[in-house]
Amino acid sequence: MKTRKQQTKNNKRAGFLLKFEILRHDGPARLGRLVLEDLELLTPCMVEHTPRGARLVDLEKGVEIPLVRGKPPEQGFLLADTPTIPYTQTPLTPRLVNLYEEKLSSLTNHKNLGVHLPILEDSKKMCLLLQACKNVKPLLVVLSNIQQVYNKPRKLVSTLTTIRKHLGPGVLVYTPLTPPHLIPLLLYLSVDLVDNLEVGIASSKGLWIHPLRDETEPEPPTCGCQACTLGTSSPHQHNQIITKNLLIYAREMISKGQLRDLVEQWSTHSERVYTSLRAADMEQKEFLEGYTSPRKNVRIFCVSTHSLTRPEVTTWHNRVLSRYTPNKEFPLLLILPCTKKKPYSTSKTHRTLNKIL
């Protein structure tokens, strides 16, 4: 039960706008700040679902902002009740699109608006919904049936990049039923909010989430999480800790400009991450390069074949090809390999080449 002091504090917040600002980009991934008067929550963050409702939680600071459905909130997001549209099978008729648009247009004057955005198999029809969604300028977009494309890497990548292209950087994107092993990849593709629903489902079945691989196990895996180390772990404790630690670690890697390294590392353990990252590099090259500076003051670790197709490398490669002009007198560029002996000029290979040249 709320005290009078708490109620007064909440009433003071009523009507305040949630403000979102981007603090740092690491490729398409971003660190952001969500502010509601005296509350400040850093993103990416977790959406925790409890019997009392859903709330955005900063796992490091413990700050919470609620999601409220169907009515203006005292504080937090207004999550609009929009029509549910299946991913496949049901045709998207003009009437259904109009119904979706009408519902959204009735919410244009609401503050702190969050809307459900269904993912459709037909990309052209998906663009119609994106335009309807864009017109109401939401602060939060919930991809309500995104779980249907988690197993379709190319569709997952194209969907997330298309949404970001249409709605712009000022919109928070939330992917429900987030598989824990996909968290680094989703953040890399510009997702801001993930949740603990998938973790709760696995825990209710007595399954343990593997800390590295894309699988669950009926027996406790070899794990160094706090609960497992103490020998008092249950599936619920283990799964929650693994997921929270992964999100915190991924956010730390964004702050260091090294999230791409984490995603590449994760791709060696998960076929879905591997295929999704390849699809992003091959089919969404312009999108990735648009968010990635080729002059990052961060060492690049080549941990997989994906390291050769990352945006920083391909941009540098293309610039060398397009900008390098060979000397007319010496139209040959000779790149010498590293040698074990230092300095290079004293090595046998370099001395031999110098004599010839």
pLDDT-derived band at 3, boundaries 50, 70, 90: very low
Least confident piece of the model among 6-10, 111-115, 175-179:
6-10
pLDDT, tens digit, 9 for 90 and up, residues 104-117: 777 666 667 788 88
Locate all alpha helices (DSSP H) within the chain, ordered by sequence.
4-13, 94-105, 123-135, 153-167, 183-188, 197-204, 226-230, 235-256, 259-267, 271-283, 285-291, 311-323, 348-356
pLDDT tens sequence across 66-86? 776 555 445 556 666 555 555
Q: Provide mean pLDDT across the span 178-183.
A: 92
Query: How far apart (Å, rounded) are the C-alpha atoms in residues 292 and 286?
Result: 10
81 vs 273, residue with greater confidence: 273
pLDDT computed for residue 98 by the predictor: 73
Q: Has residue 213 got a pLDDT over 50?
A: yes
32 vs 305 pLDDT, higher one = 32
Tokens representing 177 are: 């039923």
| Average pLDDT value over all residues in the chain | 81
Give the range among 117-121, 168-172, 221-225, 238-242 with minimum mean pLDDT.
221-225
- CA separation for the pair 191, 80 (Å, rounded): 20
| Structure tokens that stand for 156 in this block | 């997952």
- Residue with the two structure tokens 């290979």: 349
pLDDT band at 8 (very low <50, low <70, confident <90, very high): very low
> Which fold does the domain 18-304 belong to in CATH?
TIM Barrel (3.20.20)
Q: Where are the domains of the chain?
A: 18-304
Closest CA to 114 of 71, 59, 160: 71
Tell me the C-alpha distance between 322 and 301, whole Å.
25
The predicted model scores a pTM of 0.82
Q: Pick the residue with more confidence: 325 or 181? A: 181
pLDDT in tens, 327-353: 777 777 777 777 777 777 788 887 888
Q: Looking at residues 13-25, what average pLDDT do you find?
A: 76
Q: Which of 91-100, 111-120, 234-243, 246-255 has the lowest mean pLDDT?
A: 91-100
pLDDT of res. 78: 64
Mean pLDDT of 77-101: 61
